[in-house]
Structure formats: C-alpha cells, structure tokens
Amino acid sequence: MKNLYKNHLLKVLNTFDVIMQKHSYDQVILYSGDEKVVYLDDNLYPFKVYINFKYFAPVLNYPNSFIIYKSSEKPKLILLQKIDFWDSQPHALKGICCDFFDISYYNNLEDMRKQLPSKLKNTAFLGEEIIRFQNYGFKSLNNQKIINHIHYHRCFKSQYEVECMRKANQIASTAHKTAKEAFLSGKSELQTHLAYLEAIAYKEAEVPYENIVAFDESCSILHYHNYRKNKFLAKSFLLDAGASYNGYHADITRTFAKKEYTAFHELIEAVNQSTLNIISKIKIGMNYEVLQEQMHLDASAIISNFKFMNISSDEIYEKKYSKLFSPAGVGHYIGLQVHDIGNTLLDENGTLIEKSKNHPRLRLRKNIEIGNVFTIEPGIYIIDQLLKPYYGKKEFNWDVISKFRVFGGARIEDSVYVSNNNVENLTRPYLN
C-alpha cells in the first residue's frame, strides 16, 4: 500500500507542478478546514476535512492544519496539536504518508500565521476561506482555474485510490451482511442501522453518507433516512450504505425480502440482472448516457415482464413510461466524495457539459475513460407521487402495481473501475 501511495502522491505533485507552471505560482498551500460550531451554541458539527487536502494525504482528522508544496521540494504537513486538557489530545501522525512529508506541529491557533512562510505573494491558497486568510497576502484564494484543473484530474484514479475503494467496499460489505441478518431476525429500521454501524465499529458521523435503511413501502423513497424505531413484520428491505478507507468511499445498495415473498424476490433478481447487464455494456469511449438508456431499456422490459403495464416493452421505452418507475440517474463518479467531483467537467480548463435534456437527473455526462470509477445503480420503484397523474389509465395494471406497492421498490448498486483492459467490479468480490 505504501508504494501505491508513493506513486499516487507523485501523480498529485506532478499535477500541482503543472498548475504552478501554467498559472505562475511558486507555492501552493492547502488548508484542512476549521471546526464548525452550531449557531448560538458551543457544540461542534463533525469535522469533515477539505476534499483536496485528503487527495494529497489521508490525514482526515486535523482541523486548522496545512499542506505546503513548492515544486521539487518535499511537501510539508503542519498540523495543529492543541494542548488543552478539555479535549482528547491528538496523537502524532502515523501511517503511510509520514515518510513523504516534513511534518511539524503547532499548539496554539493564535500562532497560525507564524507557521506559514512569511511571503505568500506567489502562493495559491486552497481550502475553506475563513476570514483570517483574507489578509495573509496570498496571490489567490481558491483560484477557480486551479480548482478546475485538480478536479478534472481527480476523475482518473491512481492504483492507490482504486485499492482504497476496494477496501472501502470490503468494509461496507461486512456491514451489509450483518444488516441483512438484523432485518431477517425482525429488528426495526433503527436497530438495523445500528447493527450496520456496530458490525464495522463506525460512529454515525463516520459513514460517508447517511445510511438509507428502509423497510416495505419506504423502499420507494429514494433518500429515506427517517428510521422507524418500532419493530414490525417487514417484508422488504432496501439498504444503501457505504464505508470509507483512507478517505475514499464505497456506495452500495442491496434489496432483500423475506423468503415467502417470491414475486418480489424475482423483481430484486431482475434489477440485479440489470445492474450486471449495464456493467457488461461498459466500453471505453462510450458516453455514460448510453448506460442510462440501457437502464431504461432494462426497466421497460421488467415493467412489461412483471405486468405493471399491459403494453410492450418497446412501447414503454418509447413513451418514456420507464421514467415513472425508474426516475434516478444510473450512477455517478465516486472517490474522495460519494458523488465525486468532475461529472460534468469536459477538460482541465473547466469547460462544463450541460445537463442531458432527456435525462436531467443524470449526474455523469462524460465519455467513459481509463481510470474512471463510477457507480451503476438501476432501480424499480412504486412511487405514487409519479404515478398519480396516470391513476385509472388503462395501459397500467393497477392490481399488479398495488401488489408491489407494499414492497416499495428495489435498487442494486455496485461500483466499477475502468482500466485499459478490464472493467473491474469493486463490490462483487465481497457481496453478491
């Protein structure tokens, strides 16, 4: 892992060398971020490090800290280590990045300015702009040209980043298996969520996005977080939950049902086959929107086969009825962010690709390229808000739809890595 990280850091430093050359800077400073206090309170929100800070190094828990990089010099890490008996004291940094940085510590926030070089007039600052930085004399604060350049290159993952995401998928898979057992044994939504966290010893603030733990009709709510605390005899369970490794994320969805609900089991399996089918179509150079169309072709066939509608699969697709049952995008880039940046960045100058007219919900608008990691997450849902305008229409089999309404819906989500000769599923080695 250390060697992979070394090569990753070389790639990052090289990207910054090019940026500094192109935009006439001699130094760049990244700020990890400040802790946030609840309005009129003294409680802190969980700290989330600046994303491009963790692109350099997996240093996730050091607010008010800096990375300083000057071309051809060893990068520096300056970490705040507050000496304060009220709080647990941060330990000296450990881990794979330590050998590649000159590391120093400071103890008092008031001394922040003294930690940085005295002259900053050719220095680019990147990070959250708190007021104190405005009079430090940086050449720029968050120059958008620099940010575009970094974000464009973040779409091409290093071997280290891919390995981190394999590990994140492995961790999340362990918790998925435990949560499935919790559901089958009759736990509530909240208990199932807690079982997920406990399985991997995560605090709630450590999951990369709020877990979606939905039973029965709630499976149709795409961003359901309102975990019910009471136990009831649930039939179906949709779990969309991830994990992280060195700041890189997994984003996995599975749907389950109690054994006796065979028709819904068949629907889950049809969606599962769609996920695998869409993945099998991935080709370098193909626009990602082709996969969105494939999702709708598959959804149309499912809607027809399960007799949600009594018209042909072709007609369902052509009349766009599949969007009523499958309204989301087929996926998105993933990496340091769950919805990783760069989904619409055409080049390093920041040229943006417009939303798809046909699929405005589709985040990822680019061609598929070597090094990309993205999710594939088709689903079929019974969403009454979408179906309501069609109530009573004869193309729909409302009896069948009503039978499935109690299960809510099914989504199956994996992540894939595109290399020059392979499309690697990062999720399946750990979870069926």
Nearer to Mn ion (CB atom), residue 158 or residue 337: 337
Residue 236 interacting partner from ligand GLY, Mn ion, none (CB closer than 5 to 8 Å by kind): none
Residue 209 interacting partner from ligand GLY, Mn ion, none (CB closer than 5 to 8 Å by kind): ligand GLY
Of 326-355, binders to ligand GLY (CB under 6 A) are: 332, 338
Only segment of 158-166, 226-234, 235-243, 281-289 that touches Mn ion (CB under 5 A): 235-243
Q: Cα–Cα distance between 235 and 265 in angstroms, integer?
A: 11
Binding mask 406-425 for Mn ion (x = CB under 5 A): -------x------------
Only segment of 135-143, 319-327, 372-380, 395-403 that touches Mn ion (CB under 5 A): 372-380
Of 360-389, binders to ligand GLY (CB under 6 A) are: 377
240 sits near Mn ion (criterion: CB under 5 A)? yes
Of 61-100, binders to ligand GLY (CB under 6 A) are: none
Which among 307, 335, 312 is positioned nearest to 397, based on CA atoms?
307
Only segment of 35-43, 239-247, 256-264, 420-428 that touches Mn ion (CB under 5 A): 239-247
414 sits near ligand GLY (criterion: CB under 6 A)? no
Residue 198 CB, nearest approach to ligand GLY (Å): 20
Q: Which of 211, 255, 375, 415 binds Mn ion (CB under 5 A)?
A: 375
Nearer to Mn ion (CB atom), residue 192 or residue 375: 375
240 sits near ligand GLY (criterion: CB under 6 A)? yes
Residue 414 interacting partner from ligand GLY, Mn ion, none (CB closer than 5 to 8 Å by kind): none
Nearer to ligand GLY (CB atom), residue 76 or residue 363: 363
Residue 376 CB, nearest approach to Mn ion (Å): 9
Q: What is the 3-state secondary structure (H, E, C) of the chain?
A: CHHHHHHHHHHHHHHHHHHHHHHCCCEEEEECCCCCECCCCCCECCCCCCHHHHHHCCCCCCCCCEEEECCCCCCEEEEECCCCCCCCCCCCCCCCCHHHCEEEEECCHHHHHHHCCCCCCCEEEECCCCHHHHHCCCCEECCHHHHHHHHHHCCCCCHHHHHHHHHHHHHHHHHHHHHHHHHHCCCCHHHHHHHHHHHCCCCHHHCCCCCEEEEHHHHHCCCCCCCCCCCCCCCEEEEEEEEEECCEEEEEEEEEECCCCHHHHHHHHHHHHHHHHHHHCCCCCCEHHHHHHHHHHHHHHHHHHCCCECCCHHHHHHCCCHHHHCCCCCCCECCCCCCCCCCCECCCCCCECCCCCCCCCCCCCCECCCCCEEEECCEEECCHHHHHHHCCCCCECHHHHHHHHCCCEEECEEEEEEECCEEEECCCCCCC
Q: Which of 163, 251, 340, 414 binds ligand GLY (CB under 6 A)?
A: 251
- How many residues form the binding site for ligand GLY (CB under 6 A)? 7
Which residue number has the CB closest to Mn ion? 240
Which among 29, 55, 63, 66 is positioned nearest to 140, based on CA atoms?
29
Residue 340 interacting partner from Mn ion, ligand GLY, none (CB closer than 5 to 8 Å by kind): none
Nearer to Mn ion (CB atom), residue 97 or residue 295: 295
Nearer to Mn ion (CB atom), residue 295 or residue 387: 295
Nearer to ligand GLY (CB atom), residue 199 or residue 212: 212
Task: Give the footprint of ligand GLY on this chain (CB under 6 A).
Answer: 209, 240, 251, 332, 338, 377, 413
